[in-house]
Amino acid sequence: MKYCRLLPISLSFCLALLVEHATASDQAPIWDSHTNRPLEKYDNPPAYIYRLDTSPRMISPHGAFVSYQVNVDAMGNNIVGDAANECSISVDPTDGNKMAIGWRQFNSVLSNFRQGGWGYTTDAGVHWTFPGVLEPGVFRSDPVTNSNETGTFFYLSLLGSLCENMYRSTNGGQSWTELQPDGDAGGGDKQWFTIDRTNGPGHGFQYQAWDVSTCSSSGSGQFSRSTDGGITWMTPIVIPNQAEFGTLDVDTNGNLFIGGEGNVNNVFYCIRSSNAQIGSQTPTFDQVTPVNMGGVLTGGTINPAGLDGQLFLAVDRSGTATNNNIYMLASVQPPGQTTTEVMFVRSTDGGLTFSAPLRVNDDANHQTKWHWFGTFSVAPNGRLDAVWYDTRNAANNRDSQLFYSYSTDAGVTWASNVAVSNAFDPSQGYPNQSKIGDYITIVSDATGGNVAYSATFNFNPNRGQQEEDVYYVRVFPGGQGPSPTPTPIVSPTPTPTASPTPTATATPTATATPTATSTPRPTPTPRSEPTPRVRPTPSPRP
């Protein structure tokens, strides 16, 4: 396939060649996410819209779960002809009614020119306001949002230069302040960040990591830290093994953990820095543990120009027997398989060793079905909530549903999977870019999880196809009827992986099951006609 590297031909043509070659040789097509993934760069001019059609916003119920459209106009209606995907949700931990979602906003499917879209809610996700993009006319991508413990929201946004900006909101996402001039937060493609919410010396610090395609000011560095709430960032440093396509989290002792897949070897790693919380010191990485996730990250098939998912790492800070457990989950392609599975591992010793990979999706014919965009979060009481796209019910093996499972015993067992959305065709409504983003997200609380995802429930009559939109859905244990008794899917017996021997911060080994019972948060009654809201103006940049 050397022609794909030498000739100025389209990515879709290259992918077709790869598929044809693989079929002819009786092997699965190989799509290397580290080398074949298109960069988030400006390549289409903005598309001009001469008319703006609307239709009623989509409310899509499925059993006990209801998905509400997020990317709506000022009157609460669907915008016909746009596209929105790759969504990241943040929730105010002091008031669960207040949430914000950031996404890639395409004003027209005729162009892949995207901007930083966002929406906010004050009634637990039933109604959403989309005030506009972060910076009109400016290319932005890879939105990542988060919240600190007091409910201040942050939004990290990637520019076409592969440099970034951090935005802050003190009013629940209703307006945003850009914390530095465009691009001055450094960074690179597929960036992610986390916030230290502990009471240690690193309280309030922000940490971010990205892949090997970097902003010019980042050099070869893939990691940076802000000690002043995202305003200024240190000179980037290198992450061991060039680990990428993952997320970060902080344990209760202030230790930072980064999860990712090595750029050159497709090995997953859990990487620790115990001194990143010391503002006067340059962070170093004192523990690097290879982790068997049961497969590798892939892309280019069910999501032709994108990933099938990335690695998510999260730490238990529940204060229970599972406190400081480290968890990793990803949709990966197992050896000899052409589709992906949602796989999970855990560490009870501070990241020194990890359990054997455990499959979360429980369908019988899983080897031939897609389980993609897997993501998860840890609730304050230690419960784990996982969601993903799933084709188990699709005869064409393409139409997907959002599925959900949870665990109350630190991921040793997982509840029976349940579909929480109607089926949708992810190949419809592409904004001149053949993917529905690269990820979805979830944030958990004591009784359930808040999910931001993209789906194609709306129909665009002007193009005779469905369109990509962003949705919010509340998931919770018991939504499938009586709470099931979790049963093992595969053997959860831990098998230590090779790891170095630096001094580790000891954490208690725990297998106790949290005893809290989960009940769904009451769902506000939908209004038949949303009340128009004033479009707030984002705060000016400093």
* Sequential DSSP letters for 131-156: ---SSTT--EEEEEEEE-TTS-EEEE
Q: Which helix (H) or strand (E) holds 16?
A: helix 11-24
Residue 50 has pLDDT above 60, yes or no: no
The C-alpha atoms of residue 465 and residue 463 are separated, in whole angstroms, by: 6
Please write the tens of the pLDDT for every residue from 407-466.
Answer: 999 999 999 999 999 999 999 999 999 999 999 999 999 999 999 999 999 999 999 999
d(CA 258, CA 239): 9
Query: What does the alpha-carbon distance between residue 325 and residue 509 come to, in Å, rounded to a whole number?
Result: 8
Instruction: Tell me the pLDDT tens digit for each residue of 184-235.
Output: 999 999 999 999 999 999 999 999 999 999 999 999 999 999 999 999 999 9
β-strands 140-147, 78-79: how paired?
unpaired
The predicted pLDDT at position 43 comes to 73
What angle (nearest 5°) sits at the alpha carbon of residue 310, between those of residues 307 and 311? 165
Task: Quick: pLDDT tens for 504-529.
Answer: 333 333 333 333 333 344 443 333 33
Question: What is the DSSP track for 289-349?
Answer: EEE--SSB--BSSSSTTSBS---EEEE--SSSTTTT-EEEEEEEB-TT-SS-EEEEEEESS
Q: Which pLDDT does position 497 carry in this prediction?
A: 39
**pLDDT tens, 470-485?**
999 999 998 765 443 4
Q: Name the amino acid, one letter, at 260.
A: G
Quickly state the pLDDT bin for 48 (edges 50, 70, 90).
low
What is the C-alpha separation between 327 and 451, in angstroms, rounded? 19
Q: What local confidence, expressed as pLDDT, does residue 499 receive? A: 39
Token pair, residue 233, equals 């960032």
Query: Which residues, other chains included, contact 98 with Cβ-Cβ below 8 Å and sequence gap of 6+?
Result: 91, 92, 120, 121, 122, 151, 172, 173
Q: What is the DSSP letter of 359?
A: E
CA dihedral 479→485→491→497, nearest 10 degrees, is 60
Residues 6 or more apart in contact with residue 280 via CB below 8 angstroms: none
d(CA 113, CA 416): 40
What is the average per-residue pLDDT within 168-195? 97
Report which of 122, 183, 113, 201 is spatially closest to residue 432, judged by C-alpha positions. Answer: 113
pLDDT of 384 strictly over 60? yes
Task: Find where tokens 């049961």 sit.
Answer: 294
User: Lowest mean pLDDT: which of 24-38, 204-218, 270-284?
Assistant: 24-38
CA 470, CA 356: separation in Å to the nearest integer? 34
Q: What is the mean pLDDT of residues 63-82?
A: 96
pTM above 0.75, yes or no: yes
Quick one: pLDDT at residue 44? 82
Q: Is the pLDDT assigned to residue 536 strictly greater than 70?
A: no
Q: What is the structure's pLDDT at 480? A: 62
Output b/e per residue, 353-383; b: 16+ Cβ within 10 A: bbbbbbbbbbbeebeebbbbbbbbbbbebbb
**Which DSSP state fits 11?**
H
C-alpha span between 474 and 379 (Å, rounded): 14
Given a cut of 50, whether residue 70 has pLDDT beyond it is yes
Residue 405 has pLDDT above 70, yes or no: yes
Cα angle: 258, vertex 263, 264; to 5 degrees: 135
* pLDDT at residue 495 tops 90: no
CA distance 487 to 495: 20
Q: Kindly tell me if the per-residue pLDDT of 496 is higher than 70.
A: no
DSSP state of 17: H
- Separation between Cα atoms, residue 88 and residue 144, nearest integer Å: 5
DSSP 25-49: TTS-----TTTSSPPS---SPPPP-
Residue 513 CA from chain centroid, whole number: 27
Q: Which of 24-28, 297-301, 311-315 has the lowest mean pLDDT?
A: 24-28
- Beta-carbon contacts of residue 3 (< 8 Å; ≥ 6 apart): 9, 14, 17
> What pLDDT shows up at residue 327?
99
Q: What pLDDT, on the 0 to 100 scale, is given for residue 535? A: 35
Q: Return mean pLDDT, the chain.
A: 86
Q: What is the pLDDT of residues 340-383, one digit of tens each?
A: 999 999 999 999 999 999 999 999 999 999 999 999 999 999 99
Greater confidence (202 vs 54) lies with 202
Contact indicator for 513, 492 with CB cutoff of 8 Å:
no
pLDDT at res. 460: 95
Sign of CA dihedral 226, 231, 234, 237: positive
267 compared with 29, residue with greater pLDDT: 267
Which of 45, 51, 50 has its CA nearest to residue 137? 45
What percent of the chain clears pLDDT 70, i.e. is strictly above it? 80
pLDDT attached to residue 446: 97
Instruction: With cut-offs at 50, 70 and 90, classify the pLDDT of residue 39.
Output: low
Q: Taking 90 as the threshold, does the pLDDT of residue 84 lie above it? A: yes
Residue 9, pLDDT > 70, answer no
**Over pLDDT 90: what percentage of the chain?**
78
Running DSSP on this structure, what letter comes out for residue 175? S
Is the model's pLDDT at 289 over the cut of 80?
yes
Helix (H) or strand (E) holding 417: none
- Of residues 541 and 338, more confidence is placed in 338
